[in-house]
Chains A and B, each alone.
Chain A
Amino acid sequence: MTDLTAKTIAELREGFRGGEFTARELAEQYNTAVASARALNAYTVETPDDALAAADAADKARGSDELGSLAGIPLGIKDLFATRDVDTTAGSRILTGFKPRYESTVTANLRKAGAGMLGKLNMDEFAMGSSNETSAFGPVISPWRRKDGGNAALAPGGSSGGSSAAVAAGIAPAATGTDTGGSIRQPAAFTGICGIKPTYGRCSRWGIVSFASSLDQAGPMARTVRDCAILLEAMAGFDPRDSTSLDLPVPNWETELSSDLRGKRVGIPKEYRIDGVPADINALWDKGIEWLRDAGAEPVEISLPHTKYALPTYYIIAPAEASSNLARYDGVRYGLRVETEGGLDAMYAATRAAGFGAEVRRRIMIGTYVLSAGFYEAYFTKAQRVRTLIKQDFERAFEQCDLILTPTAPSAAFGLGDKSADPIAMYLNDVFAVPASLAGLPAMSVPGGLDEQGLPLGLHLIGRELDEQGVLNAGLAIEERAGFTAKPTRWW
């Protein structure tokens, strides 16, 4: 039988509708693939029956008008999305055994479109990390290896590391991700896949375990730009249950895809030429500029003067919001409880000490400090002021250009353990991703090529607010010209 796991979602949609295979055959192939790749540690829960049930429903509906855009397509779901009666842990010990009695809006939308679920995907604890090493389930291992023969285990990026590894390894045709400060884009870049974070407010946050609410956005991770467009259309949409959800129609991103960029100006921010970035990455960036020029766009140099302050701003705002959001884990309503002497307060403190990992505790402590009496103005309000300046940088830049092109990350995938001893070194990996998050802008990573070690590198496109179309179109232009077809060699 044909290997259906090698196909894109657009191809699967055609093949299924054309009767080349049944949705059940597709789900069965994926279920087998998932079970044969446990060495990657990408899934924390496997739900083969869920995938089969959606497949059977799709097979039954085939030929009818009720066929959704994702009928019979099984997906991997990041463990940050609440899934009814299926463990939802956010990669944390404190949510051990939590089975929500409700479904997140985004996954409900995907199910409405006909998708099934292969399982829940591993991630950094509460999405706090850039390597997937902070997960209570242990790190995901990237399917990619350096070609030096050393076989070092590499990070799949984070926090959506299970999602990126699963799509790259062919154990999910696509997956959901979430992005607070790069958590879709950096792992996509590390594993040679595509991932888009839409404008803040496009995807409902309802039922997504909160990290930093003013930054969190869901988005798809998939093998192609077209697949990202298909998935994002299904995921996005107004939701009255999220007060920051945008009450706007969902555009037809897929049908409007076009790699003709004539008349578009692409901004190249000079502040993103930073020290210590490998030559391969700057060379790929230059290639990306040429690819977009070839597609008809005009490159222009722009300035985003507050770029260097984006990361420190993020590492005040995100921990502050996290410390507030994570106050709900109290051992009373769900998840872990550690019984101890000393009453209610002691129970809270013991539960939270045992339930949160080191990075989450560190961020809660930072967040609590910057919000505490006497320091709030100096840290938190100051950061919110700088955030305004960062947003204004983009507004000014978009007077001169329609899109911005940068590298996605300042390095290719690093080894597990390489950065875990130094929090700031880990934080710096999101240097190119965080500014767009702080400004709420749509941004995407598309694979551009391989470095000298044979590891994928991504190019990063940032658009005006609500201009996902512009981002996807430029992504398509890069995809067509990069001809990126490399796949990891199977070792797992």
Chain B
Amino acid sequence: MSVTNEQVRHIAKLARIAMSDEEIERLVPELNNILGWVEQLGEVDTDGVEPLTAVIANKLRLREDKVTDGNCRDDILANAPVAEHGFFAVPKVIE
């Protein structure tokens, strides 16, 4: 499989990365080179092989249902590029 300009433009949109036409042009062969290389996995017979989900066997733990933190709004907002009135501020989304 190989990707086209249109597909790369679509992936960039999904990934929320702004890209110029020149960048997309440049990325198409780069990505195809990498995808062509990873496609050697097609040679491996994986019929009946389960996908690996946990690299070291481990049980997901449940913890007691109680509040363990909170009251840290200022810490959470401390690194926001823009925070107003105790909230993260974003560009206007509703006209």
Contacts and interface: CB of A to CB of B under 8 A. Distances in A.
Contacts of A389: 44, 46, 49
Contacts of B27: 362, 365
Nearest to A330: B16
Contact of A388 (B11, B50, B93): B50
Interface string A354-392: 001000011011101100100100110111111111010
A215 B8 CA distance: 27
B71 interface: no
Contacts of B42: 382
B31 A333 contact: no
Interface in B43-68: 43-44, 46, 49-56, 58, 60-61, 63
B56 A200 contact: yes
Interface in B1-44: 1, 3, 7-8, 11-19, 27, 30-31, 33-35, 37-44
A105 interface: no
Contact of B80 (A102, A333, A346): A333
A337 B44 CA distance: 44
A356 B19 CA distance: 12
A337 B82 contact: yes
21 contacts: A99-B79, A100-B79, A101-B76, A243-B61, A308-B40, A313-B38, A313-B41, A315-B34, A316-B38, A333-B80, A334-B80, A344-B93, A349-B18, A362-B34, A366-B31, A368-B15, A369-B11, A385-B46, A388-B51, A391-B52, A423-B30
B41 A364 contact: no
Nearest to B49: A385
A394 to B, nearest CB: 11
Given A336-B81, A365-B27, A389-B46, A350 B40 contact: no
Contacts of A438: 55
B75 interface: yes
Contacts, number: 162
Nearest to A245: B58
Contact of B91 (A100, A327, A344, A388): A344
Contacts of B50: 385, 388
B22 to A, nearest CB: 13
Nearest to A326: B15
A365 B8 contact: yes
Do most interface residues of chain A lie in helix, strand or loop, or is the interface mixed?
helix
Given A201-B56, A309-B44, A385-B49, A424 B37 contact: yes
Given A246-B56, A352-B18, A366-B31, A337 B41 contact: no
Contacts of B35: 366, 369
Contacts of A191: none
Nearest to B74: A101
B11 A365 contact: yes
B63 A369 contact: no
A353 B46 contact: no
Contacts of A331: 81
B49 to A, nearest CB: 5
Given A332-B80, A353-B19, A369-B11, A465 B56 contact: yes
A98 B80 CA distance: 9
Nearest to A241: B68
Contacts of A439: 55
Given A333-B80, A352-B18, A385-B46, A347 B91 contact: yes
B41 A312 contact: yes
Contacts of B80: 332-334
Given A200-B55, A385-B51, A424-B34, A335 B79 contact: yes
Nearest to B16: A348
Given A309-B40, A381-B51, A386-B46, A366 B34 contact: yes
Contact of A369 (B3, B18, B75): B3
